[in-house]
Structures are given as C-alpha cells and as structure tokens.
Amino acid sequence: MKYVFPYQKIPKYRNIGQKWREKPLMPITLRHNGQTVSYLALVDSGADFNIFHADLAEILGIDLSLIKSKVPFGGIKQDKTQCVGYLTCIDLGIGQDFFDNTLVAFSSDISDKGYGVIGQFGFFNYFKVSFDRSVYTFEIEKK
C-alpha cells in the first residue's frame, strides 16, 4: 500500500510575506464501534503520537471521563502550558485501508478549528514517510 498526497494550501496565519502556506495535511478516517468521522491531520515527524480533538471522541462514542490513561504533551499552545491527552485505541483509515487498534490521544487542548496530528507512535512506526517539499508532495508506504 502506497499513497502520494499533495501538500495542502492554507491561508497564512502570520505576517511572513506569503499569501499561503503549504502543509503536509492528509485526509484520514477515524473509526470506533461502527462510528466514523473524516478529519484532516498534519503529518508531523516531530510529534510523539497521534492527537485529535476531544470532540471527535464524543462523535465516535468514546467517553473520555472513563479513560484512565492520560499523557502530558506540549508544543501546541502558544502560552506553552502543558496539555493533556486521553489515550485509547481506535481504527485509523487512510484511503480505503484501515489500521485497527491504533493508539491515539484525544485532547480538548488542541484547536477545534484546526486539524489533528499524526506522529511517531501509532503512525511513523508503521509507515515509511517521505517528504518532498520541492514539489509539495509526501508519500506514505506501509512497512
């Protein structure tokens, strides 16, 4: 299984002299107990794990108050306060392919107006990822 994705153009958010910024965003599907939700995720080799907004857990029928496994993380908020994610396993879909029991964190500490983050544990450990910024594409291939 191999996929090639174009970088997505998003409007600039800081005054850096560009109208657009290209980001390696990938459409994914989250699935749990028969419920699915489509979502954009930033492919981020610097992220330790997959992080999605807590509202998606509710859509998937996951009650975060019942999850005992929490993980602290940072690097998301501008005020540099520590964030908390609730760890659980869901199915992660890329295209028509689903990967069962993928570890993810749901957190209300990330923006509900942005996108999720795909990171090292739960994604990069299963896929070879190649970025080619010169042509604004990235490729993922199952290991």
Looking at residue 130, which CATH number applies to its domain?
2.40.70.10
pLDDT at residue 58 in the model: 96
Residue 16, domain member (yes or no): no
pLDDT at residue 76 in the model: 67
DSSP E strands, the chain: 2-6, 8-11, 20-23, 25-32, 35-43, 51-53, 70-73, 83-94, 97-107, 116-118, 127-132, 137-142
Residue 17, domain member (yes or no): no
Domain with 132 in it: 2-10+23-142
- pLDDT, one tens digit for every residue, the chain (143 residues): 899 999 998 887 666 666 778 999 999 999 999 999 999 999 999 999 999 999 999 999 999 999 999 998 887 666 677 889 999 999 999 988 899 999 999 999 988 888 999 999 889 988 999 999 999 999 999 88
Of 138, 143, 141, 132, give the one whose Cα is nearest residue 4: 138
How does 22-51 read in b/e, with b if 16+ C-beta sit within 10 Å? ebbbbebbbbbeeeebebebbbbeebbbbb
How does 5-21 read in b/e, with b if 16+ C-beta sit within 10 Å? bebbeeeeeeeeeeeee
Residue 136, domain member (yes or no): yes
Residue 54, domain member (yes or no): yes
pLDDT at residue 17 in the model: 65
Residue 37, domain member (yes or no): yes
pTM recorded for the entire structure? 0.89
Residue with tokens 């090292």: 120
Of 99, 91, 125, 130, give the one whose Cα is nearest residue 3: 130
Residue 55, domain member (yes or no): yes
Residue 68, domain member (yes or no): yes
pLDDT at residue 78 in the model: 63
pLDDT at residue 139 in the model: 97
CA pair distance 108, 131, nearest whole angstrom = 29
pLDDT at residue 133 in the model: 94
CA pair distance 54, 35, nearest whole angstrom = 15
Domain count, the chain: 1
Residue 128, domain member (yes or no): yes
